[in-house]
Amino acid sequence: MNIVAIIQARMGSTRLPGKVNLNLLGVTVLERVVKRIKKVKQISKVVVATTDLMIDETIVNLARKAGVEVYRGSESDVLERYYKAAVTYNADVIIRITSDCPVIDPMIIDQLIKKYITGSYDYVSNTIERSYPRGLDAEVFSFASLEKAHLEAKSTEQREHVTPYIYQNADRFSLLSVTYPNDFSNYRWTLDTTEDWELIQQIYTYFKDRDSFGWQDVMELMETRPEIALINSHIEQKKLKGE
C-alpha cells in the first residue's frame, strides 16, 4: 500500500503572505512541517504540492532542500492539484496536510492511518468534529475517493479545499471522525496571522528548538503559561461557505 502525504503549500497566502518561508528559529516553517511529517511511521512518501506560478519557485526550492518530492499544478483548483499529484506518485492512500501547521503531531497522523487501515473507511480525519487544537489537522482518504471527488465536485469551495465533496456526501462515502475525549478545539496552533506567528515562535522557543515535542507537551505549556494561548485567542478561523 503506497501511502503518500501531500502537503499543499504556496507563497500567496492572503492574510500572511509568504508564511511558509518564515524563519522559525533558523528553519523555515515549511521545512519544520516536512520534518515532522517525515516522522510518521506509515508514510511511504512525502510530496509538496504547490502551484505552477513563478512566485512558488521558492516552495520548490524549500521542498528540495527538505529532501521531498514536488508536484506543481493549478493555483485555484487545489482538488485537481491533489489528484494529479496522487496520480504522479502512484498513491493508494493520501494524507492531506497543509503547510501552515508547524506543530502538527506525527503520532496523531499514525493513529488516523491505523484507523483507516483497520476499518472499512473511505475517509478518516480529526476535522469533521473538532476536538483537537487547530493546527493538528490531518485527513486520510483513498485514491478512489479522491478520484471520485475530482471527477464530480463542481463548486468553488469543493475545488479549492480538496475534501468537502467527500465529507459533505456521507451517503456516498464511508466516513470516520476521530475525536479526543476532551475538547481542546478552542486552541489555535495554525499559522495564518501575525498573532499566530508570535504564538508559534513562543512554542518553539520554549522547547528550545527541539522537534520531538508532541501536542500534549504543547497543551501542558498552554495550561502552565495561559498567557501564551491568549496571544491569538481572538483570531477567527476562515470558514468555508456553508459551514
pLDDT tens digits for range 217-228: 999 999 999 999
Query: Chain-centre distance of CA 146, in angstroms?
Result: 16
The answer to whether residues 162 and 96 touch, using CB atoms and an 8 Å cutoff, is: yes
- Whether the predicted pLDDT of 239 surpasses 90: no
Does residue 235 register a pLDDT over 90?
no
Inter-residue contact 83 to 96 (CB < 8 Å):
no
Ordered by where they begin, the domains of the chain are 3-232 (3.90.550.10)
- Residues 3-14 have a mean pLDDT of 93
- pLDDT over 90 (residue 210): no
Cα–Cα distance measured from residue 85 to residue 69, given in angstroms and rounded to the nearest whole number: 10
Rounded percentage of the chain residues whose pLDDT exceeds 90 = 91
Is 60 exceeded by the pLDDT of residue 180? yes
Backbone phi, psi, residue 68, to 5°: -125, 165
Residue 238's pLDDT band, with cuts at 50, 70 and 90, is: low
What is the structure's pLDDT at 211?
A: 75
Element (H, E) at 146: helix 143-152
Q: What is the mean pLDDT of the chain?
A: 94
Distance in angstroms (rounded) separating the CA atoms of residues 173 and 164: 12
| Confidence category of residue 242, pLDDT binned at 50, 70, 90 | very low
- For residues 99 and 88, the answer to whether their CB atoms sit within 8 Å is no
Q: Which residue has the higher pLDDT, 196 or 16?
A: 196
Question: Whole-angstrom Cα distance, residue 32 to residue 50?
Answer: 17
Q: Tell me the CB-side half-sphere exposure of residue 2, using CA atoms within 13 A.
A: 12
Using the structure block, give the residue that is written with the C-alpha cell 472499512. 120
Residue 27 has pLDDT above 50, yes or no: yes
Is the distance from CB of 59 to CB of 50 less than 8 angstroms?
yes
| Nearest residue to 113 via CA among 28, 2, 201 | 2
**Position 99 pLDDT exceeds 60:** yes
